[in-house]
Amino acid sequence: KAGVTQTPRYLIKTRGQQVTLSCSPISGHRSVSWYQQTPGQGLQFLFEYFSETQRNKGNFPGRFSGRQFSNSRSEMNVSTLELGDSALYLCASSLVRGGHNEQFFGPGTRLTVL
Amino acid sequence: DQQVKQNSPSLSVQEGRISILNCDYTNSMFDYFLWYKKYPAEGPTFLISISSIKDKNEDGRFTVFLNKSAKHLSLHIVPSQPGDSAVYFCAARLLQVRSGGSNYKLTFGKGTLLTVNP
């Protein structure tokens, strides 16, 4: 069974630009969560999607948004990029909502904002 | 306000010895605690969890202890192996009940880098 895939793996953008990251969950998984990992803040929850609906949201500004498609693939968008948005963005999928002990993470997208 | 804290950014132990990774939390409403392991260039992988109604959960070499009165949990790895060298994240789950249904929210610590020396 293929794992969680994220594209692209690395991305370099400049301040003010916008970026879209993609996540393909494990086949059959309907819940997709996004996390931001930085050295200073560690892992922080962004949002969770289940059945194309955002079910839960962390404490991030509205510049961070996402969506989920009918095939459970998810995209995350960050608009008006700031230097502090440089981070590793991780996507995780699970079969059910809140299935954290069955959550599988992708390798992440490393975003660098210059 | 950091609700989940891993106060040791790094830990170094000798192969065969016990590794003890600590985690403190502030919110008594957390209902579930999890440990994840992360190797460089890979996403975190779930390791072991414990419900707030238990005080111990064991899985092979890994044991998690929960002390609710102290709001403290720890992960014990016995015996430690060089392949255990990784960053370990502690996470706590909070149930949020809303009009549209309930949701769980995970809060992570900043991680502890464990190095097991041969």
Among A21, A103, A109, A110, the residue to mutate for chain B (most B Cβ within 10 A):
A103
Contact B41 A43 (CB under 8 A): no
Residues in B 47-106 with any Cβ partner in A closer than 8 A:
49, 89, 91, 93, 96, 101-106
Lowest mean pLDDT among A37-51, A80-94, B4-18, B78-92: A37-51
Q: Which two tokens stand for residue B24?
A: 């403190």
Cβ <8 Å between A100 and B93: yes
Distance from CA of B45 to the nearest CA of A (A): 6
Cβ contact B56:B65 at 8 Å: yes
Q: What pLDDT is stored for residue B48 in this prediction?
A: 92
Report pLDDT for A97: 60
Q: If you search the block for the tokens 């390798």, which residue do you land on? A: A107
Backbone φ and ψ for A72, nearest 5 degrees, come out as 75, -5
Q: Give residue A41's pLDDT.
A: 77
User: Which residues, other chains included, contact B76 with Cβ-Cβ below 8 Å and sequence gap of 6+?
Assistant: B18, B19, B20, B62, B63, B64, B65
Q: Which tokens go with A77?
A: 């968008």
Closest-CA residue in chain A for B2? A41
Q: How far is CA B85 from CA B41, B81, B118, in A?
A: 14, 8, 11
Binning chain A into helix, strand and coil, the percentages to the nearest 5 are: 5, 55, 40
What residues in B contact A44, CB-CB < 8 Å?
108
Give how far Cα B11 sits from Cα of A33, A85, B3, B19, B31, Å: 29, 28, 22, 8, 27
- φ, ψ of residue B3 to 5 degrees: the values are -85, -20
pLDDT digits (tens, 9 = 90+) for A18-64: 999 999 999 988 889 999 988 777 788 898 898 898 887 888 899 99
Give residue B54's pLDDT band: very low, low, confident or very high (50, 70, 90). Answer: very high
